[in-house]
Amino acid sequence: MHTLLELLEQDCTQPTAQLAAQAGMTEAEVEKERARLEEDGAILGYQAIIDWDRVKRENVTALIEVKVVPQSIDGFDRIAERIYQYEEVESMYLMSGSFDLTVIISGRTLREVAQFVGERLATIEGVTGTATHFILKKYKEKHLVFRRPEPQEREFVFS
């Protein structure tokens, strides 16, 4: 059986009754558990995943590799916080490997993104280098494919 969290991760727009039946809980239990998970911060929020290309809105996303001066994990956390506080930062991760932080930012134009990297990010104390990769096309995000499913032929086979 799916847990409430798994069901919500799949589709958080499902009505409580639907969640309850699938999770083997009562509606009251679902509401209580959901409130608790939100309170705890296990559920951070609920957002729609949007294909902006479909609504013809210009949108630029970049993945930036950031190198910082070597430090302890706490040190990374401090620098990270200085970066992710910016509204432009969509996601951010501490990485293993040849660079330290992945920063994903999105802006309306290329210029907006470039400006952010040059003026804000690169100038933060402790940042020793950046490499910016612009995302050219999104294929899949959070298990969702950026493409309308191909219409399947509906064959009425009696099986």
Residue 48 lies near other proteins (rule: CB under 8 A):
no
What DSSP string describes 103-129?
EEEEESSHHHHHHIIIIIITTSTTEEE
Out of 14, 59, 61, 130, name the contact with other proteins by CB under 8 A.
Answer: 14
Among 11, 39, 40, 125, binds other proteins (CB under 8 A): 11
Q: According to the binding rule CB under 8 A, does residue 157 interact with other proteins? A: yes
Residue 71: CB atoms within 10 Å: 13
Give the range of 18-26, 88-96, 97-105, 118-126 binding other proteins by CB under 8 A. 18-26
Q: Pick from 5, 12, 21, 37 the residue near other proteins by CB under 8 A.
A: 21
**139 lies in the binding site for other proteins (CB under 8 A):** no
- Per CB under 8 A, does 24 bind other proteins? yes
Given candidates 16, 22, 61, 102, which one binds other proteins under the rule CB under 8 A? Answer: 22
72 binding other proteins? (CB under 8 A): no
75/40 Cα distance (integer angstroms): 26
5 CB-near residues (< 8 Å, 6+ apart) = 37, 42, 43
With respect to other proteins, which residue has the nearer C-beta, 13 or 96? 13
84 sits in which H/E element: helix 73-84
18 binds other proteins (CB under 8 A): yes
Cα(91)–Cα(19) distance, rounded to whole angstroms?
29
Number of H helices, E strands in the chain: 5, 6
Residues that bind other proteins (CB under 8 A): 1-2, 7, 11, 14-15, 17-18, 21-24, 154, 156-159
